[in-house]
Amino acid sequence: GATFDAMPVFDGADRAAHVTGLEMAIETPLDQIAENFSLRTLARADRLDEASFLLEVGSGRSRVRLVELARIAAADTTHPFTEYFSSMADNANTRTFQGLLTGSLDGLFRVRRSEGPSYLVVDYKTNKLRSYDFETMRKEMELHDYPLQALIYSVGLHRMLKMRVQG
């Protein structure tokens, strides 16, 4: 379309291959999220780009202990990062933090379901991997502490929704 034609031309880039790849990405069924869901079916009204947040961590003289945060996250034994958070709890020692944390969610999606909406935090990564299977991605995420980042983003999302959404 006209928008893609306005993009800069990259030497050696195969335009048809890029278009095909983008089409495949946005049309891939994501039924584990919601039945008949893909990025193409996501309405503009259900997507928020670059959602900035300011998150208070601890209050007054209260500090958050990393070991406690990691133990809470590790308590969910069905989560794919249970071992990551258990290891973090074992190695956190006396690390604490307090203050204001600022960040930006690359995207926030609202997925409409019969039982009510779900919200998904989207954080784009540019890591180049040898494979994009579950285990390879899980290990890469742990290597860069992305599960901790996802947990923090989820807390920010929860606080934002608590202020903005009824029910």
User: Which positions are catalytic?
Assistant: 123
Eight-class DSSP state of 32: T
Q: Report the half-sphere exposure of 12 (CA within 13 A, side-chain side).
A: 0
One-letter amino acid at 145 equals D
**Which residues does 96 contact at the CB level (< 8 Å), separation at least 6?**
58, 63, 64, 65, 66
Beta-bridged to residue 97, according to DSSP, are 64
Residue 38 half-sphere exposure, CB side, CA atoms within 13 Å? 10
Contact between 123 and 53 (Cβ < 8 Å): no
- Residue 164: both structure tokens together: 């903005």
